[in-house]
Amino acid sequence: MREINVNLITQTIASLCRSTCTDLPQDVYDRLKEARAAEKGGMAQKTLDILIENADISKQKKIPICQDTGMACIWLKVGQEVHFVGGDLNEAIQQGVRQGYEEGYLRKSIVYDPVFDRVNTQDNTPAMITYEIVPGDKIEITLAPKGFGSENMSQIRMLKPSDGVEGIKSFVLNVVESAGANACPPMVIGVGIGGNFDKVALLAKQAMMAPIEAHHPDKRYADLEDELLERINQLGIGPAGFGGGTTALALHIETAPTHIAGMPVAVAICCHVSRHEKVIL
Ligand code: SF4
């Protein structure tokens, strides 16, 4: 059994909060540059130039890429041979978020009550934490500060098996079209298919954070990823909604077994500020 002190978790989370809010992942940055080179000109090219310059300044000066520094979404893959010592793991994670957002001068965006009071918790907690137990003695931490301009545009639909692949295509395209400029395009899109109501949202989020160049291992789904991305980029929404051929930078699909009577589909939308970082301890 390997012992990990929860203080290390707090320090790691605090550091991730700061770095993810200022440093766009390299693969997302590279795809923005490719998109800029592919655009014909006009507002699409100008907008992508501004987004690239914005990412450069944020990285150099260590200031947030966007004023919305998001809700801290954290995924932990915990090796079953790890024993946490030194305190409560959940509280150590929340303390890391508290510390990271304070030290990084990051905007605190969380309200305690979702409907009536809507009073800011003042420290960007609670973070949304998803745990998974895996073999081994390591712990993998992924942190994604999620802006809600794009989060608000994400959707789940419990499709029927008879809706088939055409039903999936039509749902995904409708979600992206209705998101339009509100999702701060160019978007990064994750599509979850299968599982049940709660699992399919997680699949979509995992897909959203896949490396930009990744493809589903099953060629049928990989082809569907390519087709959907192409059709999305033909919608003409373009960077910031000003028109153009870059409505999405990438689209990934994650799948899971499901029930004979259902075909859940979730579409998780992220803006061009597709912030996420992974650390293995
Ligand atoms: S959706 Fe993204 S780019 Fe738009 S305001 Fe939110 S974090 Fe910023």
- The DSSP annotation for 43-86 comes to HHHHHHHHHHHHHHHHHHHT--SSS---EEEEEEEEETTEEEES
Give yes or no for residue 185 CB within 6 A of ligand 1: no
Q: Cα of 87 to ligand 1 centre, how many Å? A: 35
Name the closest-CA residue to atom 1, ligand 1.
149
pLDDT mean over 245-264: 98
Give yes or no for residue 93 CB within 6 A of ligand 1: no
Please tell me the predicted confidence (pLDDT) of residue 139: 98
Grade residue 60 by pLDDT with cuts at 50, 70 and 90: very high
pLDDT mean over 133-145: 98
If one residue of 63, 106, 184, 270 were mutated to test the ligand 1 pocket, choosing by the most ligand atoms within 8 A of its CB, it would be 184
State pLDDT tens for residues 162-178.
999 999 999 999 999 99
Could you tell me which of 181, 199, 189, 180 has the C-alpha nearest to residue 224? 189
Give yes or no for residue 225 CB within 6 A of ligand 1: no
pLDDT mean over 223-238: 98
pLDDT mean over 177-186: 97
pLDDT mean over 120-145: 98
Please tell me the predicted confidence (pLDDT) of residue 235: 97
Q: Cα of 261 to ligand 1 centre, how many Å? A: 37
> Has residue 153 got a pLDDT over 90?
yes
Residue 16 parent element (H or E): helix 6-22
Q: Cα of 201 to ligand 1 centre, how many Å? A: 20
pLDDT mean over 136-165: 98
Q: Cα of 147 to ligand 1 centre, how many Å? A: 5
| Bond before 126 cis per omega within 30 degrees | yes
Give yes or no for residue 273 CB within 6 A of ligand 1: yes
Please tell me the predicted confidence (pLDDT) of residue 41: 83
Q: Cα of 52 to ligand 1 centre, how many Å? A: 15
> Has residue 124 got a pLDDT over 90?
yes
> Has residue 208 got a pLDDT over 90?
yes
Q: Cα of 224 to ligand 1 centre, how many Å? A: 27
Reading the block at residue 153, the tokens are 């545009």
Which atom of ligand 1 is least distant from the CA of 146? 7
Q: Cα of 277 to ligand 1 centre, how many Å? A: 17
Q: Where does residue 69 rank: exposed (0-12), middle (13-18), buried (19+ CB within 10 A)?
A: buried
State pLDDT tens for residues 81-117.
999 999 999 999 999 999 999 999 999 999 999 999 9
Name the closest-CA residue to atom 7, ligand 1.
147
Q: Where are the alpha helices (DSSP H) in 110-211?
A: 148-151, 164-179, 197-208
Give yes or no for residue 271 CB within 6 A of ligand 1: yes
Which atom of ligand 1 is least distant from the CA of 65? 8
Grade residue 40 by pLDDT with cuts at 50, 70 and 90: confident
CA dihedral 19, 10, 107, 35 (to 10 degrees): 30
